[in-house]
Each structure stands twice: as C-alpha cells, then as structure tokens.
Amino acid sequence: MVKVYLDNAATTQVDTEVFRAMRPYYSLKFGNASEPHLWGQQARKAIEESRQIITQFLGAKLKEIIFTSCATESINLAHRGLIESFKVANLHSGKVPHIITSSIEHKAVLETCKHLEQIGWAKVTYLPVDEYGLASVKDVEKAIRPETVLVSIMYVNNEVGTIEPIVEIGQLLKKINPKIYFHCDATQAIQYLDCQVDKLGVDLLSLTGHKFYAPKGIGALYIRKGTPMVRQQDGGGQEYGLRAGTENVPYIVGLGKAIELIANRKSVIVNRTKSLRDRLIKGILKIPETKLTGHPAKRVPHIASFIIEGVEGEAMLLLLSDKGIAASSGSACTSGILAPSHVLTAMRISQKSAHGSLRFSLGKDTTTQDIDYVLEVMPKIVAQLRRMAPKII
Amino acid sequence: MGEIKNPDGVATVGNRRCGDIMKLYIKVKDKKISDIKFQTLGCGAAIATSSIITTMVKGKPVAEAEKITNQAIAQALGGLPPVKLHCSLLAADALKAAIANYRKKK
C-alpha cells in the first residue's frame, strides 16, 4: 500500500544513522555515567560529546544545556523552576511574579502556567493573537508590569505553522527590562529556523528530539547562565544539579546525532520542504470552500493547515488513512475533550469552521510524488464526505 | 446513505459541543420502516452510528425501532470509546425524532 506520512509535526521516525549511533550504548557501552570506572567514563564521554553538539548548534556556552525527557519536561522545568526561585525571593514582599505568554502556546506551557496560577505562585497574562495566529510585540510591551519576570512565546505554532516575532520580542525585553527572562518553545523551529540563542535573545529554550528524527523520550533545555532555576526533580545531582536521574545515554547520543544531521542539511531541507509545501497548498486550495490557516508568509517550511467547509476533520483523517496518508486535525471530534483546538479558537475561527480543520506537516523524506498523490486523493475524499452530509440551509 | 424524496418522516439533530449533524429519512409501509437513509456531517463514530442504525431498523416495526437504545447502537458497532458514546446518543435521538415527525405528519 502507498504510505505517505504527513504528520511530521506530531512525530517523526528515528533516522537510521541516529539509531546506529545509539546502539552501542545499550549493551556495549552501558555504564552509569556517574561512575569513575571505564564503563562510566565511556558513558560520560558520550553524554558530553552530545551536549557539545547541541551547545554549538544553539550558539550557547558551556554548562547551559541540560537533557530532559521531552519538551514538555523542559517547559515545566523552565517555568516552574524560574517561578519557584522568585517565590523564595518574594517570601516577605508579598508580590506575586507575573508571566506573559500567548493564548496559542502548546498545552505544556498553558497548563504549567495555569497550575502556577492555581497555586498562587504567579499571575499570568495570555496574549491574544491575530487571525493568522501572530502575537504582537506591542501587546507584549503593553502587558509588561513591574512584577513581570517571564515572557514565554513559542517560536513556531505547531497547528498552523505561524512564525512568531521572537527576535523582536527579545530585543524589546532587553530594551525595557533586561531582568525579564524570556522562554521560547522552539519545538517546531529547530529543524528549519535560526535557533541561535543570542540572536533570539532568549534565556530559556525548550526542544524535543522526536520532531527531528531522534526517538521519543529525549529533549533538552537551554538555560542562560545566571538564570535563576530551582530544580523540579530532586535526587542524585545529575545535569548540574538541575535534573536528577541516571542519564539516558543512548537517547542522549541519539539527540546529539539527530542535531548534527539536521545542522548539516539545514538549507537543503528548508528549501526543498518549502517548495513541496507550496505545491501542496496550491493544490489543496483548488478544492472549493477551502482556506489556508496561519500566516501566508511567516510560515515554517513544513506545516500547511486548512479549514475545509462542510466536512469534519476526523472523518477526513480516517478516509485519508485508508488511502495510506497520515495527517492531523484540530476539530472537536479529534480532541479527547470535544472542544475545537484552542489555537483555532484564539485565531477567531468559528467552531463550525474548525470542525473541518486539517493539518499536513512534511518531513525530510517527503517527495513530489507524495504531494501529488495527496492532491489526487483529497478532492475525492472531500467530495465523498460532502455528499454524505445533509444540506443545511 | 443519501436522501429519500418524499420521506414519511425526517429529522435533523446536532450536537452543539462537537458540531456533528445527522439527518435521517424514513419511509413507513404497513407500520414498518420500509426504507431509511442517513446523511451525516461528523467524525468516524458519527458516520458509523448513523449508518448502522439504518441497518438495524430497516424492515422493523416502527414501535420496535423507536425503542432502540444508544447502548444497542454502540454494541452493534462492537463498542465505542467513552469520548464517542455521544455519537450513539445522537443517532438514537435522530431516529426518535424522525419517527415523531412521521407520527405528526400522519
């Protein structure tokens, strides 16, 4: 059966080279990196080599990268760890630290912020976005208060692919109050955009490996030197005392290898993916009553999200899957909680329209034939589902 | 699947939370459901429940068809995940509404 996987924003396969790099660390070089003997030091060396690759990739400095299990963990640590440090400092002044974030962040950011609000450790402003999902630098500026300690904005929105003005926000914060820390969820940006931390002006940056051909279960957090941070996982002092737990050596090695591979291929992949994405967009928009969501220009190379009238998202996904095509949707039926995507809602897309949302996300192996196959199949699926639907006046 | 021209009973029901819409058309002859068709705008489970309800009640006496529960619909599909159970409710409601519409027309 033809297989066209266009859900790379959800997850990607482990690259064969990544897998090969990981293998010795399961049963050959399996030592605990905290041990001084040969086995331990082999593991330690592998971890530090991987760390160095990521440090270089992000333009960071020594001891500024720690390994976590995923971006969600990195995000939790970044927000909770920072706020807890302020909680301790503000014990007697009674001021609650303030966080500014956007209403279209990934749930990892939103739920962490909500939790901090619930326990009274922070007040949070959730900035609106425009109809393209773009956050405004002016809105960030207006929201800043004397108690603001953290601004947290994603680099690329995972549902619609809009690129947020991270550099501009970083510059704004430096100008207004350099004591405000800036976190960026770079999960969907790592492969495609410039993630140099000084260029972005960020103090904290979260990423996860399974979006760029490393396994699920490994991520990293960049923490600029001097950023206050209270560890959220106590124990044996690993990762500079910030994240206890015996290091997952094979996965750490895998993450480093995956970063190395994307660094080598970046411009080729960016250009190829962009042109395939544009080919897909052009073709899908030929289907009547179909709109592209997200910003028309400030869009990451791999994501193309649509709203298609008169059809429901999950039904499209199932019929596409029957034809060997993987995609994703933000419809209420596809969520586990019967609510349409909070991102589409924040972009003021009606529930009725969000009903027919469909996201394609390309990968490094996507070919022109893959795109053309989708363009052949999609109009038929849409027609079939529209025929099945009642005519509502 | 489809429309029935000149149905004896017809009803459109919708679920406000998820946005799914079901329309059922029935034809009644000798107090039995002689024909039934569905049109659905909804997820896989919504399409499945509306489709299977037509197979379940076609040829059955109206009085019997009216008693079909959403649990029976879910069972006929081999079960439904909890988050999709409301689709079976929608189908059951659609059938009851179509039958009520038929009764009113009479």
Task: List beta partners, residue B29.
Answer: B32
Cα(B54)–Cα(A53) distance, integer angstroms:
60
How far does A288 lie from chain B, in Å, by closest CA? 17
Examine the fold and report which residue of A261, A291, A319 is the final residue of a domain before the chain moves on: A261
Domain ranges of chain B: 9-105
Pick the residue of A309, A311, A312 with the most B CBs within 10 A to test the interface with B by mutation: A312
Q: What is the CATH number of domain B9-105?
A: 3.90.1010.10
Question: What are the chain B neighbours of A345 within 8 Å (beta carbons)?
Answer: none
pLDDT of residue A339: 87
By the CB < 8 Å criterion, does A257 face chain B?
no
Measuring CA to CA, which residue among B87, B91, B73, B106 is closest to residue B7? B106
Q: Are A153 and A170 in contact (CB under 8 A)?
A: no
The residue assigned the tokens 């500079």 is: A240
Q: Are residues A131 and A234 in the same domain?
A: yes
Domain that holds residue A323: 4-11+266-388
A377-385 average pLDDT score: 97
Tens-digit pLDDT profile for residues A244-259: 999 999 999 999 999 9
pTM of the full structure: 0.94
A81: its two tokens: 């760890």
Inter-residue contact A236 to A91 (CB < 8 Å): no
What is the distance between the alpha carbons of residues A197 and A57, in angstroms, rounded to a whole number? Answer: 9
Which chain A positions have a beta carbon within 8 Å of B1's beta carbon?
388
A352: chain B residues, CB-CB within 8 Å: 19
Alpha-carbon span B77 to B88, nearest angstrom:
10
DSSP state of A233: S
CB contact under 8 A, A334 and B43: yes
* pLDDT above 70 for A356: yes
pLDDT value for A332: 82
Query: Nearest C-alpha of chain B: how many angstroms from A328?
Result: 13
Q: What CA–CA distance (Å, rounded) separates A310 from A288?
A: 10
Which residues in chain B are closer than 8 Å to A355, comparing Cβ atoms? Answer: 18-19, 41
Tens of pLDDT, residue by residue over A22-73, are 999 999 999 999 999 999 999 999 999 999 999 999 999 999 999 999 999 9
Q: Do A232 and A294 lie in a common domain?
A: no
pLDDT beyond 80 at A88: no
Under an 8 A CB cutoff, do A314 and B43 touch?
Answer: yes
Q: Does residue A393 belong to any structural domain of this protein?
A: no
- Position A320 scores a pLDDT of 98
Residue B73: CB atoms within 10 Å: 24
Scanning the structure block, which residue is given the tokens 């009803």?
B11
CA distance B31 to chain A (A): 26
Residue A266 has pLDDT above 90, yes or no: yes
Which positions ≥6 away from A331 have C-beta within 8 Å? A312, A313, A314, A340, A341, A354, A355, A356, A357, B18, B19, B43
Model confidence pLDDT, tens digit, residues B13-40: 998 788 899 999 999 999 999 999 999 9
pLDDT level of residue A11 (50, 70, 90 thresholds): very high
pLDDT score for A91? 58
Please say if the pLDDT value at position A90 is more than 80: no
Strand order in the sheet with B21-29: B9-14, B21-29, B32-41
CB contact under 8 A, A389 and B39: yes
State whether A107 and A176 are in the same domain: yes
Over residues B29-76, the pLDDT tens digits come to 999 999 999 999 999 999 999 999 999 999 999 999 999 999 999 999
Q: Tell me what the mean pLDDT of segment A293-305 comes to.
A: 97
Residue at which a domain ends, from A261, A286, A315? A261
Any chain B CB within 8 A of the CB of A146? no
- A237-to-A64, A220, A232, A241, A383 alpha-carbon distances in Å: 16, 17, 12, 4, 59
* Domain identity same for A205 and A296: no
Q: How many CA atoms lie within 13 A of A384 on its CB side?
A: 11
A289 by DSSP, 3-state: which? coil
The answer to whether residue A393 scores a pLDDT higher than 60 is no
Q: Which residues of B touch A310 (CB under 8 A)?
A: 41
Looking at residue A95, its pLDDT comes to: 82
Among residues B18, B76, B77, B85, the one annotated as catalytic is B18
Average predicted confidence (pLDDT) for chain A: 96
* Cα gap A59→A216, rounded to integer Å: 24
User: Which of A220, A237, A261 delimits the end of a domain?
Assistant: A261
Dihedral sign of CA atoms A365, A369, A375, A377 in order:
negative
- Give residue A59's pLDDT: 98
pLDDT surpasses 70 at A92? no
Q: What is the CATH number of the domain that holds A274?
A: 3.90.1150.10
pLDDT confidence bin for A331, thresholds 50/70/90: confident
CA A41 from chain centre, in angstroms, equals 33
**B20:A334 CB<8 A:** no
Region A377-381 average pLDDT: 98
Residues 6+ apart with CB under 8 A from A191: A211, A212, A262, A266, A269, A302
Element (H or E) spanning A325, and its range? strand A325-326
Catalytic residue among B11, B45, B87, B98: B87
Question: What are the structure tokens assigned to A111, written together?
Answer: 């739920």
pLDDT of residue A330: 87
Mean pLDDT on A142-167:
97
Asked whether the beta carbons of residue A392 and residue B46 sit closer than 8 angstroms, the reply is: no
Chain A residues 357-376 within an 8 A CB cutoff of chain B = none
Angle at A257 between CA A11 and CA A59, to 5 degrees: 95
Give the model's confidence band at B106: pLDDT under 50 very low, under 70 low, under 90 confident, else very high: confident
Choosing from A70, A113, A184, A333, which is the catalytic residue? A333
User: Do A282 and A249 share a structural domain?
Assistant: no
Which 3 state secondary structure label does DSSP give A265?
A: helix
Q: What is the pLDDT of residues A63-72, one digit of tens each?
A: 999 999 999 9
ipTM entry: 0.87
pLDDT at A239 over 70: yes
Number of domains in chain A: 2
Q: Is A336 exposed, middle or buried (0-12, 13-18, 19+ CB in 10 A)?
A: exposed
Mean pLDDT of chain B: 93
Domain match, A41 and A101 both: yes
* Interface test mutation site (partner A, options B10, B25, B41, max chain A beta carbons within 10 A): B41
B43 is catalytic: no
Claim to verify: residue A54 and residue A90 sit in the same structural domain:
yes
Minimum distance, in Å, between the CA of residue B84 and any CA atom of chain A: 8
